Amino acid sequence: MLKLENISFEVENEKEILKDVNLTIEKGKFIAITGPNGGGKSTLARIISGVLKPTKGKITFYGEDITDLSITDRAQRGISFGFQQPVRFKGITVHDLINIAKGEDLSVMDASHFLSEVGLCAKDYIHRELNDGLSGGEIKRIEIATIIARNTKLSILDEPEAGIDLWSFNHLIEVFMKMHQSKENSIVIISHQERILDVADEIIAMVDGAIVKRGAKESVLPELLHCEDPKNCLYCQDILEA
Amino acid sequence: MNDIAKKLLKEVSGLDEMPKGAYNIRENSKTVSRQSSENIEIVSKEDKSGIDIIVKPNTKSENVFIPALVSCSGVHDLVYNDFFIGENADITIIAGCGVSTGDSCDGSEHNGIHRFFLGKNSKVRYVEKHIGEGTGTGKRVIDPVTEVIQEEGSYMEMETTQIKGVDSTRRFTTAKLKDGAKLVIKEKLMTHGEQFAESKFEVDMDGEDSSVNLISRSVARDYSRQTFISKINGNTRCMGHSECDAIIMDHGVVSAIPEITANSLDATLIHEAAIGKIAGDQMIKLMTLGLTEGEAEAKIIDGFLN
């Protein structure tokens, strides 16, 4: 479905952020990408969604070369991207944003359904502006609601758990599992949360701009979370440094 | 009323036909239609052009329509409208001005001098829309002056909108608030081409526990220029807040000039101003939802001025 070939991303006078990344994601898969901060995870997500252009390499989506396609073109072909830090808008309401995501004018009741899915009481939020009056956790859940509303072939979420309280987080796992029921659509979630890694079909570990490990949770997770040699483990390095 | 005037009437006041209740429709410096209601009397001024709108005490849930239309070029309209709102009344005033100069190179202007006298515990919602139309080079000018005097416990909410077609506008609003009076002003403004707009507010909070909340949202496109001046004086225990949010595009220029003066230790005054272009991440977000760059920009502007 999605194929990245030799993707590199370099910023002038800085280090190479992505180094020759090769990655294939099949349809219907739930993939978790994890790894230390600065490892290139968010950059990879931004390159797939078109927010950043790779300096080298090729991206194909359902056989089409989308490397040079714009953000809009990729979105229209079925790629969704949930921001790590959702954007706020003065004057645009939650209802407006869900309508934009869905691509049609939904009734309050139909739009509210997507808020209920992410555990927000629809009547309290549907007419709210997406401004600073919303907490980090609230706007994050609204961001996820727009991804659910879009229901595209590929959904990429960048640290969806950030800012969400523990109680809501359990519900969020259920949301992702429900999205994963589709055999056609794939989900890619960038996360540090063990619970998310635990429910993914496959885990990809990224360190220093490269994929260092990919596999089923049974093979990758024990290595990541019960590291026997943290001093020589790339994943554990940043935790030790912190 | 000709078709141009009918179109302007619809755009500034939403009216397709004469409304029920009280109204006064002014076209090219003359009243063309008027009706008073049992509780709201509209009478012509004797010493100058304009009307007095007298609202009886305790009038509830009534609307008054007072649109002013300039449907041809070469008109220089000046009108004095005074509103006397009785105690405990609760009404909505739908005002507005449309100026059309057609394809003429002669300009037209409408200058409305409005004074509001709000009785004790009365409540007024004032909705005003300004538009200009025409393909010629004639300038369309609207310079409104508004003076508000609020007695104890009264509430006034002003919503003013000017989205297109007015080449030059200078708005000057003053208000004096007594004990417990509250004033809310919401201004929406978009300028294009080489248009110029100035909005100046001067509010005196003289009464204890009075408050003012002044919110301006504007978009300056092309080579247009805007100036926002808010002067708030807190003369006793009171609460004042003004907020100017502006989006600049192309070569648009916006100045925000606040002046808040606390003449009392118990006055709380806040001014916020933010001027900038559309944030890049806002555009990116909407594009990741499938909108084109142009659609995303329009959606952000529409929402901002909504």
- If you search the block for the tokens 């978790």, which residue do you land on? A32
How do residues A29-79 score in pLDDT, each as one tens digit? 999 999 888 889 999 999 999 999 999 999 999 999 999 999 999 999 999
Query: Which residues in chain A are closer than 8 Å to B282, comparing Cβ atoms?
Result: 87, 89
Answer whether residue A239 shows pLDDT above 60.
no
Structure confidence at residue A51 (pLDDT): 96
Nearest CA in chain A to B306: A91
Share of chain B above pLDDT 70, in %: 100
Query: Which residues in chain A are closer than 8 Å to B299, comparing Cβ atoms?
Result: 92, 96, 100
Residue A81, chain B, CB below 8 Å: the answer is yes
What letter does residue A98 receive in the DSSP assignment? H
Q: How far is B273 from chain A (nearest CA, A)?
A: 14
What letter does residue A231 receive in the DSSP assignment? G
Structure confidence at residue A226 (pLDDT): 60
Residue A8: how many other CB atoms lie within 10 Å: 16
Mutate which: A47, A72, A148, vs B, most B CBs within 10 A: A72
Residue B234 CA to residue B268 CA, distance in Å, equals 7
Q: Are the Cβ atoms of B300 and A92 closer than 8 angstroms?
A: yes
Residue A79 CA to residue A61 CA, distance in Å, equals 9
Which two three-digit tokens encode residue B189?
Answer: 């403004």
Residue A204 CA to residue A25 CA, distance in Å, equals 11
Answer whether residue B31 shows pLDDT above 90.
no
Structure confidence at residue A228 (pLDDT): 61
| Angle formed by the axes of helices A94-102 and B293-304, nearest 10° | 160
In chain A, the domains with their CATH numbers are: 2-241 (3.40.50.300)
- List the single residue in B284, B286, B293 with the smallest CB-CB distance to A51: B284
Residue B23 CA to residue B64 CA, distance in Å, equals 5
| A-B contacts (CB, under 8 Å) | 62
Residue B206 CA to residue B257 CA, distance in Å, equals 22
How do residues A82-112 score in pLDDT, each as one tens digit? 999 999 999 999 999 999 999 999 999 999 9
Please count the CA atoms within 13 angstroms of the CA of B38 that sit on its side-chain side: 5
